[in-house]
Amino acid sequence: MKLVISLMLLAFSQARVIETDCDVVTIHNINHEKQVLLKNINGPYQMTIDYDTNTLFFSYTAEGETNDIFKSGYINLKTNEYNTITGIAGGFASAVDKHSQKVYLGGRDGVYEFNAATHKANHIEKDGKNIWHMFYSDKLYYTDYPNENVYTFKDGVSALLPELQDTKALLIATDGKDNLYFKNSSGLFCYKKAKGETVFLGDYNLNSLTADINNNLYFSTPQGFYNIDENQVVNKLADVSDVYGLVVESDNNLIYSSSNSIIRLTPTKKICITAKNV
């Protein structure tokens, strides 16, 4: 009898695993479904959302191209229409000024501005740096590679950011409250302007650092998503594998990139039973 019951249980649990062939991500105890926005794209990496036009800008790796390894593209988040951006050398970074509605792109030779009418990038800062990451709050912040310096760009001129001139930073963000967040190979740090001190937030291997529409900060590592609250406390949101980057939509849905696709996570009532929790 015992054997029969265990066999039945075994069959039942196996049936459940096979039956529920769904792939969800749990965030705050709510299951989220994966909706693929773009597939067969090579290494989509740095992403930014223009909340005004509902456009997602991203970089990707162009295979077989000799001049530009990195290129920039964008997706209309309402229609999923996808386009590539021309006129930029090595388009890698992007940032949006919500107030002036300007979209900035970072190439390997400085700052560009996206022209929505022509779908082209205009080089507005010639002979500039090889830009790695951009972030817009009160002004445009960006980092360069391989030097890992932080610059600001205002009125057509780039300048080293004095507060971070003695440190390396590959990713940069601000919370709009005089705190500068940055990542280098030692981990994630917060520089508090008021106290002039740098706080270590953890040994995270960040591959993106972004803000939602209300300036709340989020980041990703290759294995998951996190947010940073106003007290500089880092919270893990989800374990996800093969993550390349993360952005947050205006309705708080997360969009992330993986090695060959861009995926939106939307709440679902679906309950999944995976091999792990059977």
List of residues contacting ligand NAG (CB under 6 A): 167-168, 184-186, 189, 198
Min CB(198)–ligand NAG separation in Å: 5
The residue among 167 and 268 lying less far from ligand NAG, judged by its C-beta, is: 167
DSSP string, 106-128: EETTEEEEEETTTTEEEE-STT-
The residue among 70 and 189 lying less far from ligand NAG, judged by its C-beta, is: 189
Which residues lie below 8 Å from residue 125, measured CB to CB, with a gap of 6+?
Answer: 110, 111, 112, 153, 156, 157, 158
Within 10 angstroms of residue 124's Cβ, the number of other Cβ atoms is 15
Show the DSSP H helices in the chain as ranges.
Answer: 2-19
Min CB(70)–ligand NAG separation in Å: 23
Min CB(193)–ligand NAG separation in Å: 14
Residue with the shortest CB distance to ligand NAG = 167
Min CB(183)–ligand NAG separation in Å: 8
The residue among 152 and 167 lying less far from ligand NAG, judged by its C-beta, is: 167
Min CB(167)–ligand NAG separation in Å: 3
The residue among 198 and 253 lying less far from ligand NAG, judged by its C-beta, is: 198
Give the C-alpha separation, 46 to 256, whole Å: 10
Output b/e per residue, 31-59; b: 16+ Cβ within 10 A: bbbbeebbeebebbbbbbbbbeeebbbbb
Backbone CA torsion sign across 159, 160, 164, 169: positive
The residue among 147 and 250 lying less far from ligand NAG, judged by its C-beta, is: 147
- Could you tell me if residue 194 is left (phi over 0), alpha (psi between -120 and 50 degrees) or otherwise beta? alpha
Min CB(185)–ligand NAG separation in Å: 5
Backbone CA torsion sign across 110, 45, 203, 189: positive
